[in-house]
Amino acid sequence: MGQTRRRAARPPAEAAPFRQTYNPFPPMGVLSAEQLEQIEAASFHILEQTGIEFISREALQMFHDAGAEVDFEAQRVRLHRDLARKLIATAPAQFTMHARNPAHHTIMGGGYMIFSMVSGPGYAYDIKRGRRTGSFAEYLNYVKLAQSFNVIHNIGGFIVENQDTHEDVRHLQLYQAQHVYADKCTNPSARGFNHANDAVEIAALVFAEQGGREWMLSHPVTLSVVNSNSPLRFDTPMVEGLLTYARAGQCVIVTPFTLAGAMAPITLAGALAQQNAEALAGIALTQLARPGVPVVYGGFTSNVDMQSGAPAFGTPEGALAALAGGQFARRYGLPYRGSNVASSKTPDAQSAYESMMALWPVMLAHTNYVLHAAGWLDGGLSAGLEKVIIDVEMLQMLDTFTRGIAVDESTLALDAIAEVGPGGHFFGTPHTMERFRTEFYRPLISDWQNYDNWLDGGALTAADRAHTKAQEVIAAYEQPPLDPAIGEALQAYVDRRTAEILNTEQ
């Protein structure tokens, strides 16, 4: 590792040039103005009456000093609505995420969307080998896919966990790989001080020339998800992660884990009230740590399967919650985070319709950061090789959709229509010939052949074709250039910290 070649990475032939997806259409809401107020009032009631538990003496003290009602023994913060509103008011509505390759900078906010890889799975899945425990080798393949597709704007974090590495240093290995094998922004972990501080230190080495940690205070280069332990709790590792990143000027995505029927009320209105209370409390803490630090309002509310108690993803309830969450984020002038989720175990029709039940709302809600945009399977327990490709196809289609319809004299084509006239056809006309290569979206793996050709080709499913495509893209991957000095500095840091962490434990 650390070796780099000075060649520019080339995207697969079917991929569009790097361009951040921008949704020009007005956002969709599913709550009326009155419903939104009712749910917000309920969330304020929760913040003021029940309060939020922070298992962190430091966080409790910060809230206390800011004027909140804090019960140190019960570790409970009760936050008046006026104080909550005042604290979150310093958070910016829009900011730029800086990648080590400036061509991969992205805007967070407004109609802009950032698509990021799945994060969190302990397993890898493909249709040939089934499910198996995640490894570093698997992880690298996913990083290569993420770097190769231009519609993936952020590499993500623990795409699949490198379980073949010692648990306490896995994060070091992954952080290093993200910067060496890719040049897009990353989503390192907020699981405790070590995960967060190592991510910031490593980023500071990557951005040493720009000014390192000092420069990063006003230039976010990492973004990290901080989940509440719903209901109404932030645990110690998550608070440490939040404070470490916020104090380093890095972006925090506060995401309540409000699965209706389990960690939140079974009714969506109640789950959303709880989501909003938890989100506001976490966002307030980022601004106490560093006023003005970039923070994102996260929504992850879905429902559980009431038969098994397991989360269900890509559901109509999840779609409604995703759109309602966007309404709250806009209400507070904050960027919004959503997800592309599914329950299916394999990249079949279910995985696709569940993902589309998530992705359309994600787009319609003006979701700015889309975590798990590619590769999520089995409720997030598996990273799916073919699912990455299928998701990329869907993301590229939605990206094309957001480009809208060009209307001008040339596209209205009145001359061509008059020339062709009734009963003719447009195949060979100059108007068609000038545009036929580029006018329409060209699919990555969708099969548009006729039935007989499809049959002759082996009657392959989309999953079959995606498997082949994934192998091809990984084989064609080219490592983006990296200053050798940075590569060496990263290696030295990882070696030193690995030794420290493992020796400390002996």
**Nearest alpha-carbon partner for 240 in 313, 202, 190, 295:** 190
Distance between CA 501 and CA 404 in Å, rounded?
52
Q: For residue 84, give the amino acid letter.
A: A
Residues 129, 448, 458, 506: which binds a second copy (CB under 8 A)?
448
344 binds a second copy (CB under 8 A): yes
479 binds a second copy (CB under 8 A): no
**Nearest alpha-carbon partner for 378 in 357, 347, 356, 408:** 347
Q: How far is the CB of 213 from a second copy (least distance, A)?
A: 34
Are 218 and 98 a contacting pair, CB within 8 Å?
Answer: no
Per DSSP, the residues of 343-402 read: --SSSSHHHHHHHHHHHHHHHHTT-SEEEEEE-EEGGGTEEEHHHHHHHHHHHHHHHHHH
489 binds a second copy (CB under 8 A): no
For the beta sheet containing 52-54, the strands, ordered from the edge strand earlier in sequence to the opposite edge, are 69-71, 76-78, 52-54, 233-234
How big is the site for a second copy, counted in residues (CB under 8 A)? 121
232 binds a second copy (CB under 8 A): yes
367 binds a second copy (CB under 8 A): no
16 binds a second copy (CB under 8 A): no
Q: Which of residues 185-224 bind a second copy (CB under 8 A)?
A: none
Judged by beta carbon, residue 293 or residue 342, the one nearer a second copy is: 342
SS3 track for 4-47: CCCCCCCCCCCCCCCCCEECCCCCCCCCCHHHHHHHHHHHHHHH
Q: How far is the CB of 327 from a second copy (least distance, A)?
A: 11
Q: How far is the CB of 234 from a second copy (least distance, A)?
A: 9
Q: How far is the CB of 32 from a second copy (least distance, A)?
A: 8
Residues 16, 208, 217, 413: which binds a second copy (CB under 8 A)?
413
**Nearest alpha-carbon partner for 223 in 370, 437, 356, 63:** 370
Phi, psi of 332 (to 5 degrees): -100, 5
Stretch that binds a second copy, among 87-95, 138-146, 317-325, 328-336 (CB under 8 A): 317-325
Q: Which of residues 454-473 bind a second copy (CB under 8 A)?
A: 454-455, 459, 461-463, 466
347 binds a second copy (CB under 8 A): yes
Interaction pattern, residues 416-445, with a second copy; x per rule: CB under 8 A:
xxx-xxxxxxxx---xx--xxx-xxx---x
Q: Which of residues 318-337 bind a second copy (CB under 8 A)?
A: 319-320, 324
